[in-house]
Structure 1
Amino acid sequence: MKSIWRRTFTLLLAGLLLLALSPAPQVEAIPVTGGPVVFAEEGVESVASPLDEFALGVKDGAAGVVRGVYAPGALALRVEQQPETRPMYISAAPDTATQFRYATFTNVIGLLAHNHVSGAQFFNLNFGQEVWIVYGDGAKQGYLVANILRYQALQPASTRSQFLDLDTGEVVSSAQLYDRVYRGEHHLTFQTCIEQGGVATWGRLFVIATPLGELIPALDPGLDVLN
Protein backbone atom coordinates (compact mmCIF):
# COMPACT_ATOMS: atom_id res chain seq x y z
CA MET A 1 0.00 0.00 0.00
CA LYS A 2 2.84 2.36 0.94
CA SER A 3 4.58 1.55 -2.35
CA ILE A 4 1.45 2.58 -4.31
CA TRP A 5 1.22 5.94 -2.52
CA ARG A 6 4.98 6.45 -2.98
CA ARG A 7 4.67 5.75 -6.73
CA THR A 8 1.67 8.11 -7.06
CA PHE A 9 3.44 10.90 -5.18
CA THR A 10 6.55 10.44 -7.36
CA LEU A 11 4.49 10.73 -10.58
CA LEU A 12 2.66 13.84 -9.30
CA LEU A 13 5.92 15.50 -8.32
CA ALA A 14 7.44 14.71 -11.72
CA GLY A 15 4.40 16.19 -13.47
CA LEU A 16 4.58 19.42 -11.46
CA LEU A 17 8.30 19.72 -12.17
CA LEU A 18 7.74 19.20 -15.91
CA LEU A 19 5.02 21.87 -15.92
CA ALA A 20 7.25 24.32 -14.09
CA LEU A 21 10.06 23.83 -16.60
CA SER A 22 7.83 24.14 -19.71
CA PRO A 23 8.19 27.50 -21.59
CA ALA A 24 5.31 29.95 -21.05
CA PRO A 25 3.15 30.68 -24.14
CA GLN A 26 3.99 33.89 -26.01
CA VAL A 27 1.24 36.44 -25.20
CA GLU A 28 1.74 40.01 -26.45
CA ALA A 29 -1.83 41.33 -26.77
CA ILE A 30 -3.20 43.08 -23.69
CA PRO A 31 -6.95 42.48 -23.18
CA VAL A 32 -9.20 45.53 -23.51
CA THR A 33 -11.03 45.96 -20.22
CA GLY A 34 -12.82 49.25 -20.75
CA GLY A 35 -16.24 49.97 -22.23
CA PRO A 36 -17.31 49.09 -25.77
CA VAL A 37 -14.71 50.01 -28.38
CA VAL A 38 -14.21 49.55 -32.09
CA PHE A 39 -10.76 48.32 -33.04
CA ALA A 40 -8.91 47.10 -36.07
CA GLU A 41 -7.87 43.51 -36.68
CA GLU A 42 -4.46 42.76 -35.14
CA GLY A 43 -1.68 43.93 -37.45
CA VAL A 44 -4.03 46.01 -39.64
CA GLU A 45 -4.00 49.79 -39.30
CA SER A 46 -7.43 51.38 -38.82
CA VAL A 47 -8.04 54.06 -41.46
CA ALA A 48 -11.12 56.29 -41.68
CA SER A 49 -12.90 56.32 -45.05
CA PRO A 50 -12.78 59.55 -47.12
CA LEU A 51 -16.49 60.05 -46.35
CA ASP A 52 -15.89 59.75 -42.60
CA GLU A 53 -12.94 62.15 -42.79
CA PHE A 54 -15.09 64.64 -44.70
CA ALA A 55 -17.90 64.31 -42.14
CA LEU A 56 -15.48 65.02 -39.29
CA GLY A 57 -14.39 68.18 -41.08
CA VAL A 58 -17.88 69.67 -41.49
CA LYS A 59 -19.76 68.50 -38.39
CA ASP A 60 -20.50 71.14 -35.78
CA GLY A 61 -23.04 69.43 -33.53
CA ALA A 62 -26.14 70.87 -35.23
CA ALA A 63 -28.43 67.84 -35.60
CA GLY A 64 -30.77 67.95 -38.59
CA VAL A 65 -28.89 70.80 -40.29
CA VAL A 66 -27.18 70.00 -43.61
CA ARG A 67 -23.49 70.89 -43.32
CA GLY A 68 -21.86 69.04 -46.19
CA VAL A 69 -22.31 67.06 -49.39
CA TYR A 70 -19.88 64.42 -50.65
CA ALA A 71 -19.78 62.43 -53.88
CA PRO A 72 -16.77 60.11 -54.31
CA GLY A 73 -14.52 61.35 -57.09
CA ALA A 74 -16.89 64.20 -57.95
CA LEU A 75 -17.23 66.78 -55.18
CA ALA A 76 -16.81 67.52 -51.47
CA LEU A 77 -18.51 70.74 -50.40
CA ARG A 78 -19.50 72.49 -47.23
CA VAL A 79 -23.14 73.55 -47.16
CA GLU A 80 -24.18 77.01 -46.02
CA GLN A 81 -27.74 77.92 -45.01
CA GLN A 82 -29.65 80.80 -46.60
CA PRO A 83 -30.60 83.72 -44.36
CA GLU A 84 -34.36 83.63 -43.70
CA THR A 85 -34.87 87.01 -45.38
CA ARG A 86 -32.75 86.25 -48.49
CA PRO A 87 -34.29 83.30 -50.39
CA MET A 88 -32.19 84.00 -53.51
CA TYR A 89 -28.87 84.18 -51.63
CA ILE A 90 -26.10 81.92 -52.97
CA SER A 91 -22.68 81.80 -51.34
CA ALA A 92 -19.68 82.81 -53.44
CA ALA A 93 -17.24 81.01 -51.12
CA PRO A 94 -15.08 78.29 -52.70
CA ASP A 95 -15.95 74.64 -52.08
CA THR A 96 -19.34 75.66 -50.70
CA ALA A 97 -22.94 75.03 -51.73
CA THR A 98 -26.00 76.83 -50.36
CA GLN A 99 -29.14 75.04 -49.20
CA PHE A 100 -32.26 76.43 -50.89
CA ARG A 101 -34.56 77.29 -47.99
CA TYR A 102 -37.82 77.25 -49.98
CA ALA A 103 -37.20 73.63 -51.03
CA THR A 104 -37.22 72.51 -47.40
CA PHE A 105 -40.92 73.42 -47.22
CA THR A 106 -41.64 70.50 -49.59
CA ASN A 107 -39.18 68.08 -47.90
CA VAL A 108 -36.60 68.45 -50.65
CA ILE A 109 -32.91 69.25 -50.18
CA GLY A 110 -31.94 71.85 -52.76
CA LEU A 111 -28.26 72.73 -53.15
CA LEU A 112 -27.33 75.84 -55.12
CA ALA A 113 -23.95 77.05 -56.37
CA HIS A 114 -22.70 79.54 -58.96
CA ASN A 115 -21.23 77.87 -62.04
CA HIS A 116 -18.04 79.93 -61.80
CA VAL A 117 -17.42 78.65 -58.26
CA SER A 118 -18.58 75.33 -56.75
CA GLY A 119 -21.39 74.84 -59.27
CA ALA A 120 -18.75 73.76 -61.80
CA GLN A 121 -18.39 70.58 -59.75
CA PHE A 122 -22.07 69.71 -60.23
CA PHE A 123 -21.20 68.82 -63.83
CA ASN A 124 -19.04 65.98 -62.45
CA LEU A 125 -22.14 64.11 -61.27
CA ASN A 126 -23.38 61.24 -63.44
CA PHE A 127 -26.29 58.81 -63.48
CA GLY A 128 -25.91 56.25 -60.70
CA GLN A 129 -23.45 58.46 -58.80
CA GLU A 130 -23.50 57.93 -55.04
CA VAL A 131 -23.95 61.16 -53.08
CA TRP A 132 -23.89 61.69 -49.32
CA ILE A 133 -25.49 64.46 -47.28
CA VAL A 134 -23.75 65.07 -43.94
CA TYR A 135 -25.59 66.69 -41.04
CA GLY A 136 -24.11 68.81 -38.29
CA ASP A 137 -24.15 65.97 -35.77
CA GLY A 138 -22.27 63.68 -38.16
CA ALA A 139 -25.32 61.70 -39.34
CA LYS A 140 -25.22 60.75 -43.04
CA GLN A 141 -27.86 60.09 -45.71
CA GLY A 142 -26.99 58.43 -49.00
CA TYR A 143 -28.55 59.27 -52.39
CA LEU A 144 -28.21 58.00 -55.95
CA VAL A 145 -28.29 60.29 -58.99
CA ALA A 146 -31.45 59.35 -60.88
CA ASN A 147 -31.99 62.22 -63.33
CA ILE A 148 -30.06 65.05 -64.98
CA LEU A 149 -32.04 67.90 -66.55
CA ARG A 150 -30.71 70.72 -68.74
CA TYR A 151 -32.70 73.77 -69.73
CA GLN A 152 -32.08 76.96 -71.67
CA ALA A 153 -33.42 80.04 -69.87
CA LEU A 154 -35.26 82.10 -72.48
CA GLN A 155 -34.85 85.17 -70.25
CA PRO A 156 -31.46 84.28 -68.71
CA ALA A 157 -31.34 86.85 -65.90
CA SER A 158 -34.96 86.40 -64.78
CA THR A 159 -36.12 84.11 -61.97
CA ARG A 160 -39.49 83.94 -63.78
CA SER A 161 -38.07 82.96 -67.16
CA GLN A 162 -39.57 80.31 -69.39
CA PHE A 163 -37.28 77.34 -69.96
CA LEU A 164 -36.55 75.18 -72.99
CA ASP A 165 -35.83 71.52 -72.21
CA LEU A 166 -32.62 70.78 -74.11
CA ASP A 167 -33.47 67.08 -74.38
CA THR A 168 -37.14 67.23 -75.44
CA GLY A 169 -37.62 70.74 -76.83
CA GLU A 170 -40.53 71.35 -74.44
CA VAL A 171 -40.99 74.90 -73.14
CA VAL A 172 -42.12 75.20 -69.52
CA SER A 173 -42.81 78.05 -67.13
CA SER A 174 -40.69 78.72 -64.06
CA ALA A 175 -43.55 77.38 -61.90
CA GLN A 176 -43.73 74.14 -63.91
CA LEU A 177 -39.97 73.69 -63.68
CA TYR A 178 -40.02 74.37 -59.94
CA ASP A 179 -42.63 71.64 -59.49
CA ARG A 180 -40.47 69.17 -61.42
CA VAL A 181 -37.29 69.71 -59.46
CA TYR A 182 -38.39 70.87 -56.00
CA ARG A 183 -41.64 69.01 -55.33
CA GLY A 184 -42.68 65.37 -55.02
CA GLU A 185 -41.20 62.61 -52.90
CA HIS A 186 -38.17 63.47 -50.78
CA HIS A 187 -35.04 63.85 -52.90
CA LEU A 188 -31.89 65.90 -53.39
CA THR A 189 -31.58 68.51 -56.16
CA PHE A 190 -28.37 70.22 -57.27
CA GLN A 191 -28.84 73.43 -59.28
CA THR A 192 -26.36 75.63 -61.11
CA CYS A 193 -26.26 77.69 -64.30
CA ILE A 194 -25.06 76.58 -67.73
CA GLU A 195 -22.78 79.09 -69.47
CA GLN A 196 -22.88 79.40 -73.24
CA GLY A 197 -21.83 82.05 -75.74
CA GLY A 198 -20.34 84.18 -72.99
CA VAL A 199 -23.65 84.30 -71.10
CA ALA A 200 -23.08 82.89 -67.60
CA THR A 201 -26.82 82.42 -66.94
CA TRP A 202 -27.73 81.00 -70.37
CA GLY A 203 -29.23 77.81 -68.96
CA ARG A 204 -29.84 75.73 -65.85
CA LEU A 205 -28.53 72.33 -64.78
CA PHE A 206 -30.48 70.19 -62.31
CA VAL A 207 -29.09 66.94 -60.93
CA ILE A 208 -31.67 64.94 -59.00
CA ALA A 209 -30.76 62.16 -56.57
CA THR A 210 -33.12 59.85 -54.71
CA PRO A 211 -32.59 58.39 -51.20
CA LEU A 212 -30.37 55.35 -50.85
CA GLY A 213 -31.47 53.49 -47.73
CA GLU A 214 -32.06 54.99 -44.30
CA LEU A 215 -30.32 57.81 -42.47
CA ILE A 216 -27.10 56.60 -40.82
CA PRO A 217 -27.02 58.06 -37.30
CA ALA A 218 -23.96 59.82 -35.97
CA LEU A 219 -21.39 57.56 -34.30
CA ASP A 220 -22.10 57.17 -30.59
CA PRO A 221 -19.62 59.51 -28.87
CA GLY A 222 -19.02 56.72 -26.33
CA LEU A 223 -17.38 54.64 -29.07
CA ASP A 224 -13.81 55.13 -30.13
CA VAL A 225 -11.45 53.84 -32.78
CA LEU A 226 -8.06 52.44 -31.82
CA ASN A 227 -5.43 53.21 -34.43
Structure 2
Amino acid sequence: MDHQPAHRPNRQLFYLLLVIALLAFPSPVRAFEKTEIPPLETFIAQVMNGNADELRGIYVSGVFADVITPQPVDDPTFVTSQSNALTQFGMASRHGSIGLLAHNYLAGSDFFLLEEGQLIYLIYGDGRTETYIIRRFLRFQALTPQSTTSDFVDLETGELLSASNLFHKVFQRKGDVVLQTCIYADGNASWGRLFIIAEPYEEHAPISMPIHLEFQ
Protein backbone atom coordinates (compact mmCIF):
# COMPACT_ATOMS: atom_id res chain seq x y z
CA MET A 1 0.00 0.00 0.00
CA ASP A 2 1.22 3.46 -0.86
CA HIS A 3 1.57 5.53 2.33
CA GLN A 4 2.80 8.72 0.67
CA PRO A 5 1.02 11.86 1.96
CA ALA A 6 -1.95 12.86 -0.19
CA HIS A 7 -0.81 16.48 -0.26
CA ARG A 8 2.57 15.76 -1.81
CA PRO A 9 1.56 16.69 -5.41
CA ASN A 10 0.17 19.98 -4.12
CA ARG A 11 3.40 20.71 -2.29
CA GLN A 12 5.40 20.14 -5.46
CA LEU A 13 3.05 22.45 -7.35
CA PHE A 14 3.48 25.11 -4.67
CA TYR A 15 7.23 25.00 -5.25
CA LEU A 16 6.78 25.41 -8.98
CA LEU A 17 4.32 28.26 -8.59
CA LEU A 18 6.28 30.22 -6.04
CA VAL A 19 9.76 29.71 -7.40
CA ILE A 20 9.40 29.18 -11.16
CA ALA A 21 6.27 31.16 -12.07
CA LEU A 22 7.66 34.50 -10.97
CA LEU A 23 11.30 34.05 -11.94
CA ALA A 24 12.11 37.41 -13.46
CA PHE A 25 14.09 37.88 -16.65
CA PRO A 26 17.66 39.10 -16.11
CA SER A 27 16.92 42.76 -16.77
CA PRO A 28 15.52 44.74 -13.83
CA VAL A 29 14.92 47.74 -16.07
CA ARG A 30 11.37 48.85 -16.64
CA ALA A 31 10.32 47.66 -20.09
CA PHE A 32 7.63 50.19 -20.94
CA GLU A 33 6.62 53.81 -20.71
CA LYS A 34 4.12 54.47 -17.95
CA THR A 35 0.89 55.87 -19.27
CA GLU A 36 -1.05 58.61 -17.52
CA ILE A 37 -3.24 57.30 -14.72
CA PRO A 38 -6.90 58.11 -15.46
CA PRO A 39 -9.51 59.03 -12.82
CA LEU A 40 -11.02 55.97 -11.16
CA GLU A 41 -14.41 56.42 -12.82
CA THR A 42 -12.76 56.60 -16.24
CA PHE A 43 -10.72 53.47 -15.58
CA ILE A 44 -13.82 51.58 -14.43
CA ALA A 45 -15.54 52.42 -17.71
CA GLN A 46 -12.46 51.28 -19.66
CA VAL A 47 -12.28 47.80 -18.12
CA MET A 48 -16.00 46.99 -17.79
CA ASN A 49 -17.29 44.14 -19.95
CA GLY A 50 -20.63 43.36 -18.29
CA ASN A 51 -19.43 40.18 -16.53
CA ALA A 52 -20.14 40.60 -12.82
CA ASP A 53 -18.00 37.59 -11.86
CA GLU A 54 -14.84 38.62 -13.71
CA LEU A 55 -12.11 40.63 -11.99
CA ARG A 56 -11.05 43.18 -14.59
CA GLY A 57 -8.82 45.83 -13.06
CA ILE A 58 -6.91 47.19 -10.09
CA TYR A 59 -6.49 50.86 -9.23
CA VAL A 60 -4.36 52.72 -6.69
CA SER A 61 -4.74 56.49 -6.85
CA GLY A 62 -1.61 58.20 -8.11
CA VAL A 63 0.30 54.92 -8.46
CA PHE A 64 -1.19 52.63 -11.13
CA ALA A 65 -4.28 51.55 -13.03
CA ASP A 66 -3.73 48.04 -14.41
CA VAL A 67 -5.89 45.43 -16.07
CA ILE A 68 -6.15 41.95 -14.57
CA THR A 69 -5.86 38.80 -16.66
CA PRO A 70 -6.73 35.25 -15.53
CA GLN A 71 -4.36 32.31 -15.71
CA PRO A 72 -5.15 29.76 -18.44
CA VAL A 73 -6.86 26.74 -16.90
CA ASP A 74 -4.07 24.48 -18.15
CA ASP A 75 -1.17 26.71 -17.07
CA PRO A 76 -1.10 27.46 -13.30
CA THR A 77 2.39 28.99 -13.60
CA PHE A 78 1.40 31.66 -16.15
CA VAL A 79 2.28 35.30 -15.44
CA THR A 80 1.46 37.87 -18.11
CA SER A 81 4.23 39.58 -20.06
CA GLN A 82 1.94 42.48 -20.94
CA SER A 83 2.76 45.90 -19.57
CA ASN A 84 0.28 47.51 -17.20
CA ALA A 85 -1.29 44.13 -16.43
CA LEU A 86 -1.46 41.76 -13.47
CA THR A 87 -2.30 38.05 -13.44
CA GLN A 88 -4.87 36.58 -11.07
CA PHE A 89 -3.33 33.59 -9.27
CA GLY A 90 -5.80 30.71 -9.59
CA MET A 91 -4.44 28.64 -6.71
CA ALA A 92 -4.72 31.58 -4.30
CA SER A 93 -8.40 31.84 -5.19
CA ARG A 94 -8.90 28.22 -4.15
CA HIS A 95 -7.45 29.12 -0.75
CA GLY A 96 -9.74 32.09 -0.20
CA SER A 97 -7.53 35.03 -1.15
CA ILE A 98 -7.15 37.14 -4.28
CA GLY A 99 -3.58 36.72 -5.49
CA LEU A 100 -2.29 39.13 -8.13
CA LEU A 101 1.08 38.49 -9.78
CA ALA A 102 3.39 40.70 -11.83
CA HIS A 103 6.99 40.65 -12.98
CA ASN A 104 9.23 43.17 -11.23
CA TYR A 105 10.40 44.66 -14.54
CA LEU A 106 6.80 45.27 -15.69
CA ALA A 107 3.76 46.21 -13.60
CA GLY A 108 5.34 44.71 -10.48
CA SER A 109 7.81 47.58 -10.32
CA ASP A 110 4.93 49.77 -9.12
CA PHE A 111 4.42 47.54 -6.08
CA PHE A 112 7.54 49.09 -4.55
CA LEU A 113 5.81 52.50 -4.63
CA LEU A 114 2.96 51.34 -2.41
CA GLU A 115 2.67 52.25 1.26
CA GLU A 116 0.80 50.94 4.27
CA GLY A 117 -2.64 52.52 4.56
CA GLN A 118 -3.15 53.13 0.85
CA LEU A 119 -6.44 52.03 -0.69
CA ILE A 120 -6.66 49.47 -3.47
CA TYR A 121 -9.73 49.31 -5.70
CA LEU A 122 -10.62 46.09 -7.51
CA ILE A 123 -13.01 46.48 -10.44
CA TYR A 124 -15.32 43.77 -11.75
CA GLY A 125 -16.80 43.46 -15.20
CA ASP A 126 -20.13 45.01 -14.23
CA GLY A 127 -18.43 48.12 -12.84
CA ARG A 128 -18.69 47.02 -9.22
CA THR A 129 -15.72 47.91 -7.04
CA GLU A 130 -14.30 46.41 -3.87
CA THR A 131 -11.99 48.48 -1.70
CA TYR A 132 -9.01 47.18 0.29
CA ILE A 133 -6.46 48.83 2.54
CA ILE A 134 -2.79 47.87 2.56
CA ARG A 135 -1.85 46.44 5.95
CA ARG A 136 1.43 44.52 5.63
CA PHE A 137 4.53 44.09 3.52
CA LEU A 138 6.24 40.68 3.64
CA ARG A 139 9.72 40.30 2.16
CA PHE A 140 11.60 37.04 1.73
CA GLN A 141 15.01 36.09 0.35
CA ALA A 142 15.20 32.96 -1.79
CA LEU A 143 18.31 31.11 -0.60
CA THR A 144 18.76 29.42 -3.98
CA PRO A 145 16.74 31.60 -6.38
CA GLN A 146 17.05 29.34 -9.43
CA SER A 147 16.18 26.13 -7.55
CA THR A 148 12.72 24.58 -7.38
CA THR A 149 13.49 23.43 -3.83
CA SER A 150 14.67 26.77 -2.48
CA ASP A 151 13.92 27.74 1.09
CA PHE A 152 13.05 31.33 1.96
CA VAL A 153 14.12 33.61 4.80
CA ASP A 154 11.72 36.18 6.23
CA LEU A 155 13.73 39.41 6.06
CA GLU A 156 11.90 40.83 9.08
CA THR A 157 11.94 37.89 11.50
CA GLY A 158 14.69 35.63 10.13
CA GLU A 159 12.25 32.71 9.99
CA LEU A 160 13.21 29.96 7.54
CA LEU A 161 10.35 28.66 5.39
CA SER A 162 9.96 26.06 2.68
CA ALA A 163 8.19 27.21 -0.48
CA SER A 164 5.03 25.33 0.47
CA ASN A 165 5.01 26.83 3.97
CA LEU A 166 5.54 30.25 2.43
CA PHE A 167 2.54 29.70 0.18
CA HIS A 168 0.29 28.89 3.14
CA LYS A 169 1.65 31.79 5.21
CA VAL A 170 0.99 34.29 2.44
CA PHE A 171 -2.06 33.13 0.51
CA GLN A 172 -4.20 31.37 3.12
CA ARG A 173 -5.90 34.66 4.05
CA LYS A 174 -9.60 34.43 3.34
CA GLY A 175 -10.97 37.62 1.81
CA ASP A 176 -7.61 39.41 1.53
CA VAL A 177 -5.76 40.66 -1.54
CA VAL A 178 -2.13 39.59 -1.98
CA LEU A 179 0.16 41.28 -4.51
CA GLN A 180 3.32 39.34 -5.41
CA THR A 181 6.44 40.18 -7.37
CA CYS A 182 10.16 39.42 -7.21
CA ILE A 183 12.77 41.47 -5.37
CA TYR A 184 15.84 42.48 -7.38
CA ALA A 185 19.09 42.50 -5.38
CA ASP A 186 22.78 41.71 -5.83
CA GLY A 187 22.39 41.57 -9.60
CA ASN A 188 19.72 38.87 -9.36
CA ALA A 189 16.22 39.71 -10.60
CA SER A 190 14.68 36.84 -8.60
CA TRP A 191 16.71 37.31 -5.39
CA GLY A 192 13.59 37.42 -3.25
CA ARG A 193 9.83 37.84 -3.08
CA LEU A 194 7.66 40.78 -2.08
CA PHE A 195 4.10 40.18 -0.87
CA ILE A 196 1.72 43.04 -0.10
CA ILE A 197 -1.29 42.17 2.03
CA ALA A 198 -4.47 44.25 1.78
CA GLU A 199 -7.63 43.71 3.81
CA PRO A 200 -11.24 44.67 3.00
CA TYR A 201 -11.96 48.33 3.73
CA GLU A 202 -15.57 48.30 4.87
CA GLU A 203 -15.95 52.02 5.58
CA HIS A 204 -15.63 52.93 1.91
CA ALA A 205 -18.88 52.81 -0.05
CA PRO A 206 -18.75 50.99 -3.41
CA ILE A 207 -18.55 53.15 -6.51
CA SER A 208 -21.37 52.64 -8.99
CA MET A 209 -21.21 53.48 -12.66
CA PRO A 210 -23.98 55.47 -14.40
CA ILE A 211 -26.87 53.24 -15.37
CA HIS A 212 -26.85 54.45 -18.98
CA LEU A 213 -23.76 52.36 -19.80
CA GLU A 214 -24.73 49.48 -22.07
CA PHE A 215 -22.89 46.48 -23.49
CA GLN A 216 -23.36 45.04 -26.91
TM-score by length of 1: 0.73
The answer for unaligned runs of 5 or more in structure 2 is 1-37
Contact 1:140 1:215 in 2 (8 A): no
Aligned pairs (5 A) from 1:138-217: 138-213=127-202, 216=206
> Equivalent residue for 1:68?
57
Query: Which one of the candidate residues 69, 72, 85 is aligned to 1:83?
Result: 72
Q: Partners in 1 of 2:213 and 2:56 — Cα distance? A: 22
Distance 2:70 2:120 in 1: 19
The offset of 1:141, in angstroms, is 0.2
Determine the C-alpha separation between the residues in 2 that align with 1:104 and 1:215: 24
Supply the RMSD in Å over aligned alpha carbons: 2.0
CA 1:166/1:141 → structure 2, altered by over 3 Å: closer, same or farther?
A: same
Secondary structure of 1:156's counterpart equals: coil
Matched-pair contact (CA < 8 Å) for 2:41–2:209: no
- Which one-letter code corresponds to 1:169 in the other structure? G
Task: Determine which structure has greater relative contact order: mean sequence separation of CA pairs < 8 Å that are 6+ residues apart, divided by chain length.
Answer: 2
Deviation at 1:185, TM superposition (A): 2.5
SS at match of 2:201: strand
Shift of the alpha carbon at 1:91? Answer: 0.4
| Equivalenced residues, count | 176
Change (3 A) 1:216 1:173: same
Map Cα deviations across residues 88-118 of structure 1 (whole Å, 9 max, x no partner). 1000111000000111112211000000111
Q: TM-score, normalising length from structure 2?
A: 0.76
Task: Report the secondary structure of 1:201's partner residue.
Answer: strand
Task: Pick the structure with greater CA Rg.
Answer: 1
1:223/1:190 CA distance change after superposition, 3 Å: closer
Mapped to 2, the partners of 1:52 and 1:160 lie a distance apart of 44
Question: Secondary structure of the residue that 2:134 maps to in structure 1?
Answer: strand
Find runs of 4+ consecutive structure 1 residues off by over 3 angstroms. Answer: 217-220
Contact 1:75 1:122 in 2 (8 A): no
Report if aligned partners of 1:139, 1:215 keep a CA contact under 8 Å in 2: no
Q: Are 2:211 and 1:221 equivalent residues in the alignment?
A: yes
Is 1:51 aligned with 2:40? yes
Change (3 A) 1:75 1:159: farther
Please list every run of 5 or more consecutive structure 1 residues that lacks an aligned counterpart in the other structure: 1-48
Question: Deviation string for 1:125-178 (max 9, x for gaps)?
Answer: 110011000011111000000000110011212454210111111111111111
Asked if the contact 1:75–1:124 (Cα under 8 Å) also holds between the matched residues in 2, the reply is: no
Structure 1's 197 and 100: CA in aligned 2 closer, same or farther, altered over 3 A? same
